Copies of this chain bind each other. A is one copy, B any other.
Amino acid sequence: MTVTQPPSPLPETPAVLVDLAVVRRNIARFQSYADAHGLKVRPHIKTHKLPPVARMQLAAGAVGITCQKVSEAEAMVAGAPEIGDVLITYNIVGAGKLARLAALARRVALSVVADSEAVIAGLSATFAPEPKPLAVLVECDTGARRCGVDRPERAAALAQVIAASPGLVFGGLMTYPPAGGAAAVEAFMVEAKARIEAGGLAVPVITSGGTPSMMQAAEAPVTTEYRPGTYVYNDRSLVERGVCGWDDCALTVLATVVSVPAPGRAIIDAGSKTLTSDLLGLSGYGHVLGRPDIAIDQLSEEHGRLVNEGPIGLAVGETVRIVPNHACVVTNMVDAVYALDDGRLERWPVPARGCIT
């Protein structure tokens, strides 16, 4: 284990620690890969929700940020005026959100996505009277079966609808690919691009995302931009998939043992309100650093249950550090994280936490 030890005094537990040396290394690693392959990087801020980390990503070469909700973008831009370019990879629906979107578009270069005529109509009605048109990308379903048009011909049709809509310009194509989906992305996007260009429109951006397959992003050479999120912190799900090692995990949860009620069981003060119930296909709720023999087999809201085969070897009052299954959702649970940098621990509020609208 070469994971940095946090300095004393420790914050009250449970606490979310972010090791900035690891963050910097993670940012640099993907930026180098992207630079080598001519890909633009537009990190998804859902993982950190922190303006200072967005600043680090921009300083390393990112072209802008990705957000999922309007309120996330509002919080990030308010916290880091350096952010000049935001893509919201979401169908924005509803009068309140559209009005906020228009206000945001007056402050930064803004683009959004759409996968239906209904969404495009709402965007157009809002942006027709605006001084600057809104760039709208077509969201494409390349296999994840969430949002998105599922055929290149439908992407081409929506591109034409966008281009013909007052207040909008066609901004390109966006996808969140399925696992290992570079081939699927390439096949879909090459055909969609050809159809759109045949219709007389340029396709300025083709953007894909996802940390698990980011180091294969260049296997879909049609892609111009990549939106990794979790890569900035990494987590247990990525270690278990072989994407990185424990030393690459920047976010850990510091917890205190509050009970050792049986020889092979200890209870910590971090439960689902900190670690969350996200399993991401794994067994157990996190990895106790330095103790691969321990499983976190059960969470209630404020208790985490640690079990092993033999004596658990932990005492009341001891602390453990846990790499959670899923870093992004842990960030969303806390009002602040503790940034660990060069032996110092600093409390950083998380302004984009809880931004669901």
A residues sitting closer than 8 Å to B (CB atoms) are: 12-15, 46, 68-69, 90-91, 93-94, 96-97, 115-116, 118-119, 122, 141, 145-150, 256-262, 265, 267, 269-270, 272-274, 276-279, 298, 300-303, 305, 315-317, 328-329, 332-335, 354, 356-357
Contacts and interface: CB of A to CB of B under 8 A. Distances in A.
Contacts of A298: 146
A354 B334 contact: yes
Contacts of A329: 272-273, 277, 301
A354 B271 CA distance: 12
B97 A12 contact: yes
A328 B273 CA distance: 10
In the A-B complex, the 3 residue pairs with the smallest Cβ-Cβ separation, listed nearest first, are A118-B316, A91-B258, A277-B277
B316 A335 contact: no
Given A302-B356, A316-B93, A258 B119 contact: yes
A316 B119 contact: yes
Contact of A262 (B69, B150, B301, B316): B150
Nearest to A307: B145
A94 B317 contact: yes
A301 B46 contact: yes
Contacts of A273: 329, 332, 354, 356
A178 to B, nearest CB: 13
A302 B94 contact: no
A282 to B, nearest CB: 12
A132 to B, nearest CB: 24
Contacts of A279: 277
Given A259-B116, A334-B354, A68 B301 contact: yes
